[in-house]
Amino acid sequence: MKAQEAGDPSHYKILSAVEIERLRKDLRVWYDSSRRDLPWRRTHDPYAIWISEIMLQQTRVAAVIPYYERFLERFPDFHALANTHDSELLSYWAGLGYYYRARNLQRAAQQMRDAGSFPSTYGDIRRLPGIGEYTAAAIASIAFNLPHAVVDGNVFRVLSRIFNDPTNIASVNARKHFSAIADKLLDREQPGVFNQAVMELGATLCLPKNPQCLLCPVSSICRARRSGRENDLPVKITAQKNVREERVLFWVESGGKVLVWQRPPESRLMPGFWELPEREHLPGISIHRKLGSFRHGITFHNYRFEIVEATVPDELGRCRWIHIEELGTIPMSTVLKKASRMVAQSRTRHLKLDGEVG
Ligand code: SF4
């Protein structure tokens, strides 16, 4: 199918007013009977819905559930979140990744504490740190029943199929284009239910590959289904290439302690987390031997980290010593976790070999 740049969204008129009404009703009925039972769907508390929406950014539903439950138990409202210590907050977030989300949550909670309440208009929600158009629309519609349509990759896919729309979803104007269509389709009486139903359809039936059209509540309306093009949509043409990068990390150990450094609070990536040093942190360091390597992917970067044992330097710079047994008590980056696990495993292997030889 030929890609098309985002253009006039008025082709939502492809569906008649009667079909649009039927689509809203069919989605609502299907969502009421078939939705997954997720913990954040059992509440109308804007705070809890907000936490779930932030956790669900870039993270799968199944992975979020235990974090969400633990987080809400420890921080049941914005007062608790606003007043917690930085390292405790990060320990409840560790493993979810994209740690700037946790920082923004706390900054937003502090604003709520100072204001005395959770904001209740789209504009005020949107102004909170870490909240974009999608999240603001989700919270406004689900928690406050305000008429704002959510638009993300799921919605791009569902709408491009229902309307048989070949707009390139990676194009600059795709969001504006699909937002305009989503806004026309939105059920203004139950915007929260409508938004969640579209998202649920994208997550469970209108899947990126092999959409389950036979089970779909809107298959009789869907134009891509009608023309047999459901597997050709959405159109996505991206120029983005994966970047490969090799990095060397130093494992410097002495007396049961290892050298680590902490990312500053203003760091865009994982502020406050601890890492193994690299050459820039210990310029004069001497390498002793290679301990191993592993791969780690962050967005479009494919890293290969080589861990080398190095001798204790004269100057520690920004690095600090920490007992190896205490590593688990500080906010560790995933790279540091993988590296320390790899070093521990390589030691166990050596011990076993020594035992066998002996
Ligand atoms: S009929 Fe198929 S392609 Fe169309 S919305 Fe439903 S699942 Fe998606």
**Separation of alpha carbons 78 and 81, rounded Å:** 5
Mean model confidence pLDDT for the chain: 90
Tally of CB atoms within 10 A around 142: 24
Q: Is the peptide bond before 234 cis (omega within 30 degrees of 0)?
A: yes
230 alpha carbon – ligand 1 mean position (Å): 7
**Separation of alpha carbons 83 and 88, rounded Å:** 11
In this structure, the residues whose C-beta lies within 6 A of any atom of ligand 1 are 158, 161-162, 205-206, 211-213, 216, 218-219, 222, 224-225, 230
**Domain boundaries, given as residue ranges, for the chain:** 9-232, 243-357
pLDDT at residue 272, as a whole number:
86
Lowest-pLDDT choice from 11-15, 126-130, 328-332, 337-341: 11-15
Per-residue pLDDT tens digits for 34-73: 999 999 999 999 999 999 999 998 889 999 999 999 999 9
16 alpha carbon – ligand 1 mean position (Å): 18
Rg (CA), the chain: 25
**Separation of alpha carbons 216 and 214, rounded Å:** 6
**Catalytic-labelled residue, pool 5, 19, 53, 245:** 53
Same CATH fold assignment for domains 9-232 and 243-357: no
Quick one: angle between helices 174-185 and 17-34, nearest 10? 90
**Separation of alpha carbons 95 and 118, rounded Å:** 27
Q: Give 358's pLDDT tier (boundaries 50, 70, 90).
A: very low
24 alpha carbon – ligand 1 mean position (Å): 14
Domain range 9-232, CATH architecture: Orthogonal Bundle (1.10)
Among 1, 23, 225, 226, say which to mutate for ligand 1: greatest number of ligand atoms within 8 Å of CB: 225
Domain range 243-357, CATH architecture: Alpha-Beta Complex (3.90)
Contacts of 187 by beta carbon, 8 Å cutoff, 6+ apart? 24, 27, 28, 193, 194
Q: What is the dihedral of CA 63, 293, 279, 309, to 10 degrees?
A: 120
Higher pLDDT, 317 or 189: 189
Q: Considering Cα of 218, then 222, then 226, then 231, what sign does the dihedral take?
A: negative
165 alpha carbon – ligand 1 mean position (Å): 13
Q: Give 353's pLDDT tier (boundaries 50, 70, 90).
A: low
Q: What is the mean pLDDT of residues 208-236?
A: 95
Q: What is the mean pLDDT of residues 257-277?
A: 87
Indicate which residue's Cα is closest to atom 4 of ligand 1.
222
Per-residue pLDDT tens digits for 70-86: 999 999 999 999 999 98
Percent of the chain at pLDDT > 70 equals 92
Indicate which residue's Cα is closest to atom 1 of ligand 1.
219
Indicate which residue's Cα is closest to atom 8 of ligand 1.
206
Per-residue pLDDT tens digits for 116-135: 999 999 999 999 999 999 99
Lowest-pLDDT choice from 152-156, 260-264, 342-346: 342-346
pLDDT at residue 242, as a whole number:
75
Per-residue pLDDT tens digits for 144-202: 999 999 999 999 999 999 999 999 998 888 999 999 999 999 999 999 999 999 999 99
Q: Which two tokens stand for residue 346?
A: 């390589």
Q: Which two tokens stand for residue 47?
A: 């705070």
> What separation in angstroms does the CA of 177 have from each of 9, 11, 16?
6, 11, 19
Which atom of ligand 1 approaches the CA of 216 most closely? 6
β-pairing, 287-298 vs 301-310, is antiparallel
pTM, full prediction: 0.70
39 alpha carbon – ligand 1 mean position (Å): 27
291 within 8 A of 342, measured Cβ to Cβ: yes
Higher pLDDT, 66 or 283: 66
Among 19, 215, 219, say which to mutate for ligand 1: greatest number of ligand atoms within 8 Å of CB: 219
Question: Is 53 among the residues known to form the active site?
Answer: yes
Q: Give 357's pLDDT tier (boundaries 50, 70, 90).
A: very low
